[in-house]
Amino acid sequence: MSSSSDFQQDRHSFSGSPQKWNDFELPGDTLYYRFTSDMSNTEWGYKFTVTAGHLGRFQTGFEILKQMLSEERVVPHLPLAKIWEWQVGVACRQTGHQRLKAIHLLLKIVQCSAQRDCDLTLLKPLWQLFTHMENNLCHDMAKPGILLPLHRALAELFFVTENRVTELGTLQEYLLALNTEDHLHRCTAQ
């Protein structure tokens, strides 16, 4: 079982008697599973039960953090660097609406952070996702359409972040940290 169709993320494998199985959690809103039999038994297989995460766990955390980031008097007392680190990790692991909500919180953190509270280079995996979406959009010009919500959210996050690092005078370091050496060589060659 996994949270990705290629079975590379959050993978859990089980074999043998039911006593060897343990409860586990997967991030996101989709579960992928694969059942393979070695034909050594004639019983029907396995049964498992899937339940939604702990009641309101993600949504509750999202609402609380969103409210805290909206209160100007509270923001200076928050450990923004640590919250930023956690939230980037959440945005990278989650999918669907939960990823959009995590990106929304990242945007709020960038907008309310003072000085250099956040390590913006942690955004590299999201930058790679965004550039991949941009490249697909450029290659698919025959089918103009509306940007996906994730694409729009990432575009806004990186637009605001770029403005923020420009204000701080660290634009060059930020751009170098987000891009791979191969990408920089291709851009230079162009």
Chain center to CA of 58: 13
Which one, of 139, 121, 137, lies nearest residue 179 by Cα?
Answer: 121
Residue 125 has pLDDT above 80, yes or no: yes
Residue pLDDT, tens place only, 48-59: 788 766 555 777
- Label residue 115 by pLDDT band (50, 70, 90): low
Residue 68 has pLDDT above 80, yes or no: yes
> How many angstroms separate the CA atoms of 94 and 111, rounded?
22
What 3-state DSSP class applies to 32? strand
Mean pLDDT of 32-58: 74
What 3-state DSSP class applies to 77? helix
> How many angstroms separate the CA atoms of 41 and 83, rounded?
49
Supply φ then ψ for residue 32, to 5 degrees: -110, 135
Supply φ then ψ for residue 31, to 5 degrees: -120, 130
Residue 16 has pLDDT above 80, yes or no: no
Residue pLDDT, tens place only, 88-97: 999 998 888 8
Residue 81 has pLDDT above 70, yes or no: yes
The tokens describing 156, both together, are 């806004």
For CA atoms 97, 154, 134, 181, the dihedral sign is: negative
DSSP secondary structure code for residue 103 in this structure:
H
Residue pLDDT, tens place only, 137-188: 766 555 555 568 899 999 999 999 988 888 888 888 888 888 877 777 777 7
